[in-house]
Each structure stands twice: as structure tokens, then as C-alpha cells.
């Protein structure tokens, strides 16, 4: 049976790429403790934000294009993960907030001042639901994932200029 995408796989993949010097992230413009890496797998932009603990990726957030909610306003799906050694310390929420600020800054500089962020969280993933409620919206829409068929909650936030 298909499953929801697991952002922990992205974290482990990024860790491998970082160790093998296949990626060279740069410090964030607003928060230098956040490392930023942008690429275009399959031609679509992907924005990845990580925080390290020593040489280990402690937490990762990435954004990829998603179907828009409003005409002319882009939407980015968000995925986030924290390495099991660093869970329960507020790292996901902290990095999601910092990553949104960095993304807002970068997109605005490139003429995209307004966009949506969408999180699709498994109904059984209580920790990720807490992060999405705290960083995106306290209002979650229940549903079923169209690809895997598993129960989910959808969180959406419209990001606008400050």
C-alpha cells in the first residue's frame, strides 16, 4: 500500500549528500544558523533549509511547488523532519519558522511577495500536527491523501509581505 512521503528520507539523503560534498548549502540571509540549498530536481524548484548539530543534519525543512489555491498565487508544499537523536526539543517548529522567513525573503526579492504553504500530515503523526498547527494554521482540514489513500490533515497558510 502506498504511504505518505516521509521527509526523514530527505533528511538522511541530504546528510549523505552533505557528507560527500554533493551539495554546498549557504548560510541564510536572515538567520546564518540556517543553511539554505536550492536545486531543481525533475525541473521543479526545491528549497531546502537545514540546521546542523556538528556535522549532522539535526532538522530539515523543504518546500516544493504544489497546486495553487488561488490563481496567480504560487503554493509550496512543506516537508519537515528532525533526526531521531534531536526530537522533542522544539527544533522542527524553530526551523519551520526560520525557513518560512528565509523563503519569504528570497521569493519577495524575486518578485513573489505572496504565496501559500501547504502541509499534508498523516492523521497518525501527532508531533507533525503540532508543528503545522503552531507554524501554519491552527485550523486543519481532515481528508484522505489522493495518492496513498491514508487519512490526513491539511494545513494551509497564506504568506504576505510584512
**Each residue of 60-74: pLDDT tens digit?**
999 999 999 999 999
Length of the chain (residues): 162
Among 2, 154, 46, residue whose Cα is nearest residue 13: 46
Pairing of strands 46-53, 26-27: unpaired
Domain of residue 60, CATH code? 3.40.630.30
Say what the pLDDT of residue 162 is: 77
Structural domain includes residue 2: no
Which uninterrupted H or E stretch holds 6? none
Say what the pLDDT of residue 1 is: 52
Structural domain includes residue 1: no
Among 25, 35, 96, residue whose Cα is nearest residue 104: 96
* DSSP conformational letter for 32: T
**Each residue of 41-55: pLDDT tens digit?**
989 999 999 999 999
User: Which structural domain, as residue segments, surrounds residue 95?
Assistant: 7-159
User: Domain count of the chain?
Assistant: 1
Residues in the chain where the model's pLDDT stays below 50: none
Structural domain includes residue 122: yes
Say what the pLDDT of residue 161 is: 86
Structural domain includes residue 28: yes
Structural domain includes residue 37: yes
Q: How many helices (H) and strands (E) does the chain have?
A: 3, 8
Structural domain includes residue 81: yes
Structural domain includes residue 80: yes
**Rounded alpha-carbon distances, angstroms, from residue 38 to 60, 84, 85, 142, 154:** 13, 25, 26, 31, 25
- Which residue has 491552527 as its cell numbers? 138
Assess contact for 44 and 30: CB atoms under 8 A: no
Among 150, 86, 141, 90, residue whose Cα is nearest residue 119: 141
Amino acid at each position: 500500500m502506498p504511504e505518505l512521503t516521509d521527509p526523514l528520507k530527505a533528511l538522511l539523503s541530504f546528510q549523505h549528500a552533505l557528507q560527500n560534498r554533493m551539495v554546498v548549502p549557504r548560510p541564510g540571509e536572515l538567520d546564518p544558523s540556517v543553511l539554505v540549498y536550492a536545486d531543481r530536481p525533475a525541473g521543479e524548484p526545491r528549497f531546502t533549509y537545514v540546521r546542523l548539530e556538528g556535522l549532522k543534519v539535526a532538522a530539515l525543512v523543504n518546500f516544493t511547488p504544489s497546486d495553487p489555491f488561488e490563481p496567480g498565487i504560487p503554493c509550496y508544499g512543506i516537508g519537515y523532519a528532525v533526526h531521531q537523536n534531536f526530537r522533542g526539543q522544539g527544533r522542527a517548529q524553530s526551523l519551520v519558522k526560520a525557513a518560512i522567513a528565509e523563503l519569504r525573503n528570497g521569493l519577495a526579492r524575486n518578485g513573489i511577495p505572496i504565496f501559500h504553504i501547504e502541509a499534508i500530515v498523516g492523521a497518525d503523526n501527532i508531533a507533525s500536527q503540532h508543528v503545522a498547527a503552531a507554524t501554519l494554521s491552527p485550523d486543519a482540514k481532515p481528508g484522505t491523501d489522493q495518492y496513498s489513500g491514508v487519512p490526513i490533515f491539511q494545513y494551509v497558510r497564506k504568506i504576505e509581505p510584512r
